[in-house]
Amino acid sequence: MSEIAASTIASDISTVERILDRALQGEDISTADALLLLIQTSPDLIEQIRLTADKLRHQQVGDTVTYVINRNINFTNICEQHCSFCAFRRDAGTEGAFWLSTEQILAKAADAVSLSATEICMQGGLHPGAKIGGRSLTYYVELVSAIKTTFPQLHLHAFSPQEVEFIARQDGLSYADVIMALQRAGVGSMPGTAAEVLDDTVRRVICPEKISSATWIEIISTAHRLGLPTTSTLLAGHIETPSQQIAHLEQLKQIQQYAIESEYPTRITEFIILPFVGESAPAPLRSRVGRDQPILADNLLLTAVARIFLGNYIPNHQPSWVKLGLEGAKTALTWGCNDLGGTLMEEHITMMAGAKGGTCLSVAQLQGAIGDLDRDYRQRSTLYELL
């Protein structure tokens, strides 16, 4: 359905109410229905959409809000690519470029363990020089092995589909070869970042050198087939349209349906909206988008529609407190989210883009935010087991 056609129907309040009723009965809603919800502007209808998302969150995962004690480690910002939203990347040898040694990474992991972390989330730039014996995979495997040998209790949530493609391309390997080697070394799950918006017309503008939508989907599905769980994300609030946002959600739903029908051992564990922060992003995209910080109201409506559209397939929805701030993320817990993410301890990618949410939250801060909503909280593992 075109957006023009959808906005014609938008005046029909009963149509929106019927969609919300069906969703509350546990039925799937169509992409046209989801788009209709997403373009609503009436405060009354938006409140009904919020309430529906909140009820579905209650039905699908209950009232307890979960969090994970984790540490983010961005091991290098040296990157061969030039995404138009990225303020993090540097060329090797230029000011601000860094590449952590294994010793530095182990020191950060030790610090995380001392703070009761159960997870290390590790991602970095695509550094062509990150090789051992001329092989990228050997570098990545040895890095993972060093962490897992020293701290076997830590779950490693590491290396996006883009990083998997980079390693495979550098070494002339298949995606499956890379994933299996990382798994054997100790990677426990794959971040579903680099998805940005799964629409190649958008990708040609915001990340022209990145893997295509089809390749992102192929690598995520390969991970599921091989028993490696993944997460999923959407970079929202830049040049993409509401139709492209919904099409993105539809692709995530199809990936999950495929994993279920194929009886793959693992699937997508959570969905995270990453609102675009443009304050320090390269100027062309920043001026095209025309603002530096996310619009909370847009993000909350998208959060609710994502719960209504995806909740039957991906039950765990998490806001990004780094990008929205803790108050914004707390609000998102009343728009369909059930998880507040992790302590992170440090974060460079969004901080360098100009985000205001900070880079570290204590367990007490996470618990306090959840408690303010009169909801129970529980620490979870990366894979959503309650601890």
Instruction: Give the binding site for ligand SF4 (CB under 6 A).
Output: 79, 81-83, 86, 88-89, 125-126, 162, 207
Residue 224 is encoded by which pair of tokens?
A: 């599921």
Q: Structure tokens of 236?
A: 């929202």
Nearer to ligand SF4, 201 or 262 (CB): 201
Residue whose CB is less far from ligand SF4, 89 or 307 = 89
- The contacts found for 180-184 with CB under 8 angstroms, 24 or more apart, are 180/226, 181/137, 181/141, 182/140, 182/141, 182/144, 182/158, 182/228, 183/226, 183/227, 183/228, 184/141
Single out the residue of 372, 313, 297, 310 nearest to residue 336, CA to CA.
310
| Least distance (Å) between residue 48 CB and ligand SF4 | 37
Instruction: Give SS3 for 233.
Output: strand
Residue with Cβ nearer ligand SF4 (88 or 335): 88
* Residue 64 beta carbon to ligand SF4: minimum distance, rounded to whole angstroms: 33
Nearest approach in angstroms of CB 166 to ligand SF4 is 8
Q: Min. distance of Cβ 207 from ligand SF4 in angstroms?
A: 6
Written as six digits, the tokens of 378 are 């529980």
Residue 293: CB minimum distance to ligand SF4, A: 19
What are phi and psi for residue 116, nearest 5 degrees?
70, 25
Q: Which of 387, 313, 384, 383 is nearest to 156 (CA)?
A: 383
Angle among Cα 7, 332, 317 to the nearest 5 degrees reads 90
